[in-house]
Amino acid sequence: MKFKALVIDIDGTITCKNRELHLGAVKKMRTLNVPVVLATGNILCYARTASRLIGLGGAVIAENGGAVTVRYDVNGIFEGSLEECEKAFSFLSQHFKLTKLDPTYRKTEIALRRDFDLEEARSLLETQPFDIELVDTKYAIHIKSIKINKGIGLQKLAGMMGFEAEDFVAIGDSANDAEMFEAAGFGIAVANGDERVKEVANYVTEASFGDGAVEAIEFLESNGWI
């Protein structure tokens, strides 16, 4: 099996435990001869800046698939349901004191500080008619549409790049990477990954964070898969 591209998560995967960019992972990605796509729950400008500074081509998936761009010089494609997310946010705000993260730049979903009871919020949301889910990435809790995720974002972006989603190998660390693993041809969870992402992974690294990303790429190279 030979993959034509790599799609890799940012926070918790190419970062260190303290969330600094992992320079070993950067160096490793720079040696690859296939396109490397960054996929994140974070906002589009975060993803694009990371891609530029790492030296990648600007193809990114941001806002958990709500924002997709294929190069720096084209505008992002946004798809989401901020309105529905805002309704869910207003409802939850009756029960919890919630703090939005980067609301100015986030166009398709809402990210919240992880300072409220997630399971209680999920139970409350079940009483409401919203097509919304709460996803905890260990860096934020996202109020997002159930119709948008990194896997759907990958399918969209793959088509724009002349690939199939199965042509990609995916590497990630948390629940918001699970659909991307299912859409890609192969999924690798880093050791610090949560149980949801490890459930759907084809391989789990020994090493954590950016060291895990380096190990994942070396595993692929040693098998001649990338």
Marked catalytic residue, from 9, 167, 194, 211: 9
Site string for Mg ion, 153-182 (x = CB under 5 A): --------------------xx--------
Q: Output 81 or 137, the one with its CB closest to ligand PGA.
A: 137
Q: What mask, x for binding ligand PGA by CB under 6 A, covers residues 141 to 180?
A: ---------------------------------x-x----
105-126 burial, b at 16+ Cβ within 10 Å, e below that, comes to: ebbbbbbbeeebeeeebeebbe
Q: 128 near 88, Cβ under 8 Å?
A: yes
Decide if residue 80 touches Mg ion (CB under 5 A). no
> Residue 211, annotated ligand binder?
no
Integer angstrom CA distances of residue 183 from 146, 150, 168? 16, 9, 9
Residue 42 is a binding residue for ligand PGA (CB under 6 A) = yes
Q: Give the integer Cα–Cα distance in Å for 153 and 61.
A: 6
User: What is the CB-side half-sphere exposure of residue 112 using CA atoms within 13 A?
Assistant: 25
CA distance 217 to 212: 9
4 assigned ligand-binding residue: no
Query: Among residues 22, 25, 29, 40, which is the contact residue for ligand PGA, using CB under 6 A?
Result: 40
Which span (8-16, 121-129, 160-168, 197-205) binds ligand PGA, by CB under 6 A? 8-16
To ligand PGA, the closest distance from the beta carbon of 202 in angstroms equals 19
What's the per-residue H, E or C state across 129-141?
CCCEEEEECCCCE
Q: Give me the amino acid identity at 194.
A: D
> 102 catalytic, yes or no?
no
First CA to last CA distance, the chain: 9
**Residue 35, binding choice from ligand PGA, Mg ion, none, Cβ under 5 to 8 Å by partner class:** none
Residues binding ligand PGA (CB under 6 A): 9-12, 40-42, 111, 137, 139-140, 174, 176
**Which amino acids are annotated catalytic?**
9
Annotation: binding site for Mg(2+): 9, 11, 173, 177
